[in-house]
Amino acid sequence: RRTKCGTRQQFLAAVLAVQAAGMQAYADVVFNHKDGADHVERVRAQIVDWNNRNDVRSDWHEIGAWTHFTFPGRGAVHSSMHWHADHFDSLSFNADTNNASRLYRLKDKQFETEVSHEHGNYDYLMACDLDTRHPQVDGELRWWGRCIVDTTGVNGFRIDAVKHIRASFFRDWMNHLRVHFGARELFAVGEHWSGNVADLHDYITSTEGVMSLFDVA
Protein backbone atom coordinates (compact mmCIF):
# COMPACT_ATOMS: atom_id res chain seq x y z
CA ARG A 1 0.00 0.00 0.00
CA ARG A 2 1.13 3.54 -0.68
CA THR A 3 2.66 5.34 2.30
CA LYS A 4 3.69 8.98 2.70
CA CYS A 5 7.05 7.87 1.21
CA GLY A 6 5.47 6.42 -1.95
CA THR A 7 4.73 2.95 -3.29
CA ARG A 8 6.68 -0.30 -3.19
CA GLN A 9 7.40 -0.03 -6.92
CA GLN A 10 8.74 3.51 -6.52
CA PHE A 11 11.06 2.28 -3.78
CA LEU A 12 12.35 -0.61 -5.88
CA ALA A 13 12.84 1.75 -8.83
CA ALA A 14 14.80 4.16 -6.60
CA VAL A 15 17.17 1.37 -5.52
CA LEU A 16 17.80 0.43 -9.15
CA ALA A 17 18.33 4.08 -10.14
CA VAL A 18 20.92 4.57 -7.38
CA GLN A 19 22.79 1.44 -8.44
CA ALA A 20 22.60 2.39 -12.14
CA ALA A 21 24.34 5.67 -11.23
CA GLY A 22 27.29 3.71 -9.82
CA MET A 23 26.38 4.03 -6.15
CA GLN A 24 25.21 1.62 -3.46
CA ALA A 25 21.75 1.74 -1.86
CA TYR A 26 21.43 1.09 1.87
CA ALA A 27 18.20 0.24 3.69
CA ASP A 28 17.44 2.26 6.83
CA VAL A 29 16.94 -0.26 9.66
CA VAL A 30 15.14 0.52 12.94
CA PHE A 31 15.47 -2.49 15.25
CA ASN A 32 15.44 -0.79 18.65
CA HIS A 33 11.71 -0.27 19.12
CA LYS A 34 8.20 -0.83 17.77
CA ASP A 35 5.24 1.52 18.04
CA GLY A 36 1.60 1.58 17.00
CA ALA A 37 0.39 -1.76 18.36
CA ASP A 38 -3.06 -3.13 17.58
CA HIS A 39 -4.17 -4.25 21.06
CA VAL A 40 -3.46 -3.63 24.76
CA GLU A 41 -2.15 -6.46 26.92
CA ARG A 42 -2.21 -6.74 30.72
CA VAL A 43 1.34 -6.91 32.05
CA ARG A 44 3.20 -6.55 35.33
CA ALA A 45 5.89 -3.90 35.44
CA GLN A 46 7.89 -1.69 37.78
CA ILE A 47 8.81 1.96 37.40
CA VAL A 48 12.50 2.81 37.03
CA ASP A 49 14.12 6.22 37.07
CA TRP A 50 14.50 7.91 33.65
CA ASN A 51 17.96 9.24 34.54
CA ASN A 52 19.24 6.09 36.27
CA ARG A 53 17.61 2.94 34.94
CA ASN A 54 19.20 0.93 37.76
CA ASP A 55 17.12 2.89 40.30
CA VAL A 56 13.78 1.09 40.90
CA ARG A 57 10.94 3.43 41.89
CA SER A 58 7.99 1.09 42.50
CA ASP A 59 6.88 -2.44 43.31
CA TRP A 60 5.60 -4.71 40.57
CA HIS A 61 2.08 -3.75 39.53
CA GLU A 62 -0.29 -4.27 36.60
CA ILE A 63 -0.52 -1.81 33.72
CA GLY A 64 -2.03 -1.76 30.25
CA ALA A 65 0.62 -2.05 27.53
CA TRP A 66 0.28 -1.50 23.79
CA THR A 67 2.37 -4.56 22.99
CA HIS A 68 0.15 -6.83 20.86
CA PHE A 69 0.95 -6.39 17.16
CA THR A 70 -1.32 -8.46 14.87
CA PHE A 71 -0.92 -6.52 11.58
CA PRO A 72 -4.53 -6.97 10.39
CA GLY A 73 -3.81 -5.22 7.09
CA ARG A 74 -0.93 -7.54 6.30
CA GLY A 75 -2.23 -10.82 7.62
CA ALA A 76 0.37 -13.54 7.11
CA VAL A 77 1.88 -11.95 3.98
CA HIS A 78 5.69 -11.83 4.34
CA SER A 79 5.53 -12.94 8.00
CA SER A 80 2.98 -14.63 10.25
CA MET A 81 4.59 -13.53 13.52
CA HIS A 82 2.45 -11.63 16.01
CA TRP A 83 4.31 -9.63 18.67
CA HIS A 84 3.41 -9.79 22.37
CA ALA A 85 4.65 -8.26 25.62
CA ASP A 86 7.17 -11.07 26.05
CA HIS A 87 9.02 -9.79 22.98
CA PHE A 88 9.85 -6.50 24.72
CA ASP A 89 11.68 -5.56 27.91
CA SER A 90 10.47 -2.01 28.63
CA LEU A 91 8.07 0.73 27.58
CA SER A 92 6.94 4.17 28.66
CA PHE A 93 3.18 4.36 28.04
CA ASN A 94 0.54 3.09 30.44
CA ALA A 95 -2.75 2.62 28.61
CA ASP A 96 -4.63 2.61 31.92
CA THR A 97 -3.67 6.23 32.62
CA ASN A 98 -2.86 7.46 29.08
CA ASN A 99 0.42 8.60 30.62
CA ALA A 100 3.81 8.41 28.90
CA SER A 101 5.88 10.10 31.61
CA ARG A 102 7.16 6.96 33.36
CA LEU A 103 9.58 4.27 32.31
CA TYR A 104 8.42 0.70 32.98
CA ARG A 105 10.56 -2.43 33.00
CA LEU A 106 8.46 -5.52 32.34
CA LYS A 107 8.41 -8.37 34.85
CA ASP A 108 11.01 -11.11 34.37
CA LYS A 109 12.92 -8.84 31.95
CA GLN A 110 16.28 -7.15 32.31
CA PHE A 111 17.68 -4.26 30.33
CA GLU A 112 20.12 -5.43 27.69
CA THR A 113 23.84 -5.04 28.39
CA GLU A 114 26.51 -4.13 25.79
CA VAL A 115 24.74 -0.80 25.33
CA SER A 116 25.62 2.80 26.20
CA HIS A 117 26.24 3.36 29.92
CA GLU A 118 24.46 6.71 29.87
CA HIS A 119 21.65 6.87 32.46
CA GLY A 120 23.12 3.77 34.09
CA ASN A 121 21.92 1.70 31.12
CA TYR A 122 20.68 3.23 27.87
CA ASP A 123 18.87 0.18 26.47
CA TYR A 124 15.54 2.02 26.49
CA LEU A 125 15.02 4.91 24.07
CA MET A 126 11.34 5.03 23.13
CA ALA A 127 8.10 3.11 22.39
CA CYS A 128 8.21 -0.67 23.06
CA ASP A 129 11.85 -1.71 23.41
CA LEU A 130 12.70 -4.99 21.69
CA ASP A 131 14.20 -7.83 23.71
CA THR A 132 16.70 -9.07 21.12
CA ARG A 133 17.63 -11.96 23.43
CA HIS A 134 14.20 -13.53 22.87
CA PRO A 135 14.66 -16.34 20.31
CA GLN A 136 11.53 -15.39 18.35
CA VAL A 137 12.67 -11.77 18.10
CA ASP A 138 16.16 -12.81 17.01
CA GLY A 139 14.72 -15.22 14.45
CA GLU A 140 12.28 -12.68 13.03
CA LEU A 141 14.97 -10.02 12.61
CA ARG A 142 17.28 -12.49 10.88
CA TRP A 143 14.44 -13.48 8.56
CA TRP A 144 13.66 -9.80 7.87
CA GLY A 145 17.28 -9.11 6.93
CA ARG A 146 17.28 -11.95 4.40
CA CYS A 147 13.89 -10.91 3.05
CA ILE A 148 14.72 -7.22 2.57
CA VAL A 149 17.93 -8.00 0.66
CA ASP A 150 16.20 -10.63 -1.48
CA THR A 151 13.19 -8.45 -2.35
CA THR A 152 14.87 -5.05 -2.80
CA GLY A 153 18.44 -5.81 -3.83
CA VAL A 154 19.92 -3.24 -1.45
CA ASN A 155 23.68 -3.31 -0.93
CA GLY A 156 23.69 -2.91 2.84
CA PHE A 157 22.23 -1.07 5.81
CA ARG A 158 22.15 2.18 7.74
CA ILE A 159 21.26 0.99 11.25
CA ASP A 160 19.45 3.29 13.66
CA ALA A 161 20.12 3.85 17.38
CA VAL A 162 22.76 1.13 17.78
CA LYS A 163 23.99 2.40 21.15
CA HIS A 164 20.66 1.24 22.58
CA ILE A 165 21.02 -2.31 21.20
CA ARG A 166 23.50 -4.91 22.42
CA ALA A 167 26.59 -5.07 20.26
CA SER A 168 26.67 -8.88 20.08
CA PHE A 169 23.23 -8.89 18.42
CA PHE A 170 24.62 -7.01 15.43
CA ARG A 171 27.75 -9.16 15.36
CA ASP A 172 25.56 -12.26 15.01
CA TRP A 173 22.98 -10.62 12.71
CA MET A 174 25.50 -9.29 10.20
CA ASN A 175 27.53 -12.51 10.22
CA HIS A 176 24.33 -14.50 9.62
CA LEU A 177 23.43 -12.37 6.58
CA ARG A 178 26.94 -12.40 5.13
CA VAL A 179 27.14 -16.17 5.40
CA HIS A 180 23.66 -16.52 3.87
CA PHE A 181 24.40 -14.24 0.92
CA GLY A 182 27.96 -15.41 0.39
CA ALA A 183 29.79 -13.07 -1.96
CA ARG A 184 27.79 -9.93 -1.07
CA GLU A 185 29.69 -7.43 1.05
CA LEU A 186 26.56 -5.99 2.75
CA PHE A 187 28.26 -2.90 4.14
CA ALA A 188 26.66 -1.58 7.35
CA VAL A 189 26.99 1.76 9.15
CA GLY A 190 25.43 2.43 12.54
CA GLU A 191 24.16 5.57 14.25
CA HIS A 192 25.83 5.64 17.68
CA TRP A 193 25.10 9.16 18.90
CA SER A 194 28.10 9.98 21.09
CA GLY A 195 30.73 12.69 20.96
CA ASN A 196 33.18 10.40 22.75
CA VAL A 197 35.34 8.70 20.14
CA ALA A 198 36.39 6.04 22.69
CA ASP A 199 32.73 4.99 23.02
CA LEU A 200 32.53 4.52 19.25
CA HIS A 201 35.70 2.45 19.14
CA ASP A 202 34.51 0.32 22.07
CA TYR A 203 31.23 -0.43 20.29
CA ILE A 204 32.95 -1.32 17.02
CA THR A 205 35.28 -3.63 18.94
CA SER A 206 32.32 -5.27 20.70
CA THR A 207 30.69 -5.99 17.32
CA GLU A 208 34.00 -7.52 16.17
CA GLY A 209 34.09 -4.97 13.37
CA VAL A 210 30.98 -6.04 11.48
CA MET A 211 29.86 -2.42 11.04
CA SER A 212 31.21 1.09 10.71
CA LEU A 213 29.85 4.00 12.75
CA PHE A 214 29.11 7.57 11.72
CA ASP A 215 31.78 10.00 12.97
CA VAL A 216 29.37 11.76 15.32
CA ALA A 217 32.22 13.42 17.21
Q: Are 39 and 68 in contact (CB under 8 A)?
A: yes
Report the interhelical angle of 167-181 vs 135-152 (nearest 10°): 40
Greatest alpha-carbon span in the chain: 58
Q: Are 91 and 127 in contact (CB under 8 A)?
A: yes
Question: Residues 160, 172, 202, 208: which is the catalytic one?
Answer: 160
Pairing of strands 33-34, 128-130: antiparallel
User: Is position 129 annotated as part of the catalytic site?
Assistant: no
Question: Residues 86, 191, 202, 208: which is the catalytic one?
Answer: 191
Determine how many CB atoms are found less than 10 A away from the CB of residue 20.
Answer: 8
CA distance 93 to 99: 6
CA distance 185 to 156: 8
User: Is position 172 annotated as part of the catalytic site?
Assistant: no
Residues annotated as part of the active site: 160, 191
